[in-house]
């Protein structure tokens, strides 16, 4: 996949849809959005898999498939360690058998031991004109972006620029008095009590199809007289936490969250990703919703980021997953910071910390997050002790497959765990 070159990255905000896809147990809340920038993506179409006329793949061991070299120094490893005919690959492919060529598409990636094990796409990236989905089709990953926002704060904390236990008011003084009661750490864990700006905007009459800026979100929060609960006393998912963390980054660095991530995370890791929810990207998938039995484009011009807004591919997301077992960004103890202080959620056995949920599945410790925004639906799950990661994005919530375990990415993880 050619690098996503962001010509400009503006402000940061995050949005969550009340109609979001069901998150992996305990993961609640949609994605986010961001700035206005123009980006160019060279779309490299995968070759059609001969066994599935609706699928495109980057499995290097399948002679009918497009190949992506793991050792290519232009980006993260993207080749496949397991042949497309393997049991795991066949079982993964079967989960998307219901996504036909004329349906909004899905893209799936699995990495194992830091190398791409599986990458395929199904259905269409665009229905009109008809364009097939490929593993290189760019998508919006929604609230899966929250872990990147949390990483930006962790980097600033490691440099002494942000104190996690200081009140939000110290960094964003324009907010109401309640900002003096909420700490940065509580925002990272969703224990702040700050009402969700997405709900506030919708309640004020701003629809998802209407333009909405960071200033709109800040104004809505400025009018919120009270917190929903005393900070630290409860857990409630709120996109406002991560939108406002983006504002903290802006205040202390002078750069938007998107720009800061580009220079400190995406660039150093050679990740083809941009945090900008309204960027014009060549090869970007179109998202859809069903209205009266017809597919209708589901787009949103909301500009906020932090709670979402990243545009990339599932292959890039699973490449990022190695940071959870072999961190190269930030201090050596960055994963202790992310996970040791995580707090209990409203789901038994699950903890939320730094944009990721920790739980257990089939005896494995797993990290996960899901999200949905403007038609896109995504899920990401990692089993760090097995160095195994799965990412899925569909261009419509209606084509996001049903799951035996509450989340299709968890179903796929189960297929690839050591037997």
Per-residue pLDDT of the chain (419 residues; tens, 9 = 90+): 444 433 222 222 233 333 322 323 333 333 333 332 333 333 333 333 323 334 555 443 332 233 333 333 323 323 334 445 589 999 999 999 999 999 999 999 999 999 999 999 999 999 999 999 999 999 999 999 999 999 999 999 999 999 999 999 999 999 999 999 999 999 999 999 999 999 999 999 999 999 999 999 999 999 999 999 999 999 999 999 999 999 999 999 999 999 999 999 999 999 999 999 998 898 899 999 999 999 999 999 999 999 999 999 999 999 999 999 999 999 999 999 999 999 999 888 999 999 999 999 999 999 999 999 999 999 999 999 999 999 999 999 999 999 998 999 999 999 999 98
**E strand or H helix at 88, and its extent?**
helix 87-94
> What's residue 11's pLDDT?
22
The owner of tokens 């979402």 is: 308
What percentage of the chain's residues is helix, strand, coil (to nearest 5)?
A: 25, 25, 50
The class that CATH gives domain 5-416 is alpha beta
> What's residue 348's pLDDT?
84
pTM above 0.85, yes or no: no
Question: Domain locations in the chain?
Answer: 5-416
Burial 116-144 (b: 16+ CB within 10 A, else e): bbbbbbbbbbbbeeebbbbbbbbbbbbbb
> What's residue 282's pLDDT?
87
Which DSSP category does 391 fall into? E
> What's residue 141's pLDDT?
98
d(CA 117, CA 111): 5
CB contact set of 79 (below 8 Å; sequence gap of 6+)? 58, 60, 67, 68, 69, 70, 71, 115, 116
> What's residue 85's pLDDT?
52
- Select from 181, 189, 145 the least CA-distant residue to 344: 189
What six digits make up the tokens of 145?
């972006």
- Select from 105, 28, 36, 22 the least CA-distant residue to 311: 36
> What's residue 293's pLDDT?
92
Helices (H) and strands (E) in the chain, counts: 10, 22
- CA 310, 154, 212, 40 dihedral sign is negative
d(CA 359, CA 138): 29
The owner of tokens 């593993």 is: 135
> What's residue 55's pLDDT?
53
Residues linked to residue 47 through DSSP beta bridges, in sequence order = 57
- H-helix segments, 95-236: 146-158, 184-189, 197-203, 214-222
- Select from 119, 173, 146, 96 the least CA-distant residue to 310: 146
d(CA 116, CA 72): 12
d(CA 140, CA 119): 17
């Amino acid at each position: 996949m050619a690098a996503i070159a962001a010509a400009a990255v503006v402000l940061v905000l995050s949005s969550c849809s009340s109609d979001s896809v069901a998150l992996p147990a305990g993961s609640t809340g949609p994605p986010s959005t961001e700035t206005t920038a123009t980006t160019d993506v060279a779309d490299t179409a995968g070759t059609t898999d001969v066994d599935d006329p609706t699928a495109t793949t980057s499995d290097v061991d399948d002679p009918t498939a497009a190949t992506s070299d793991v050792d290519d120094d232009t980006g993260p490893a993207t080749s496949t360690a397991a042949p497309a005919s393997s049991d795991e690959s066949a079982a993964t492919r079967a989960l998307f058998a219901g996504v036909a060529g004329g349906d909004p598409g899905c893209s799936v990636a699995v990495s194992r031991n830091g190398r791409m094990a599986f990458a395929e796409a199904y259905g269409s990236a665009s229905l009109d004109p008809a364009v097939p989905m490929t593993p290189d089709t760019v998508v919006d990953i929604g609230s899966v972006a929250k872990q990147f926002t949390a990483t930006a704060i962790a980097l600033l904390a490691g440099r002494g620029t942000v104190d996690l236990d200081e009140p939000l008011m110290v960094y964003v003084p324009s907010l109401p008095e309640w900002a003096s009661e909420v700490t940065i750490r509580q925002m990272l864990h969703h224990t702040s009590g700050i009402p969700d700006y997405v709900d506030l905007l919708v309640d004020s009459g701003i629809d998802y199809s209407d333009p909405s800026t960071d200033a709109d979100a800040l104004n809505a929060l400025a009018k919120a007289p009270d917190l929903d609960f005393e900070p630290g006393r409860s857990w409630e998912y709120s996109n406002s936490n991560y939108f406002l963390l983006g504002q903290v980054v802006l205040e202390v660095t002078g750069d938007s969250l998107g720009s800061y991530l580009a220079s400190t995370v995406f660039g150093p890791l050679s990740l083809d990703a941009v945090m900008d929810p309204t960027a014009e990207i060549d090869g970007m998938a179109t998202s859809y919703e069903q209205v009266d039995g017809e597919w209708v484009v589901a787009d949103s011009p909301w500009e906020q980021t932090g709670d979402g807004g990243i545009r990339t591919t599932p292959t890039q997301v699973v490449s990022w997953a190695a940071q959870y077992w072999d961190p190269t960004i930030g201090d050596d103890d960055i994963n202790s910071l992310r996970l040791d202080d995580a707090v209990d959620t409203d789901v038994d056995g699950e903890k939320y910390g730094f944009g990721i949920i920790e739980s257990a599945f089939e005896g494995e410790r797993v990290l996960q997050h899901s999200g949905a925004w403007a038609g896109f639906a995504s899920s990401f799950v990692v089993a760090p002790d097995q160095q195994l990661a799965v990412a899925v994005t569909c261009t419509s919530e209606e084509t996001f497959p049903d799951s035996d375990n509450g989340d299709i990415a968890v179903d796929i993880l189960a297929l690839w765990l050591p037997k």
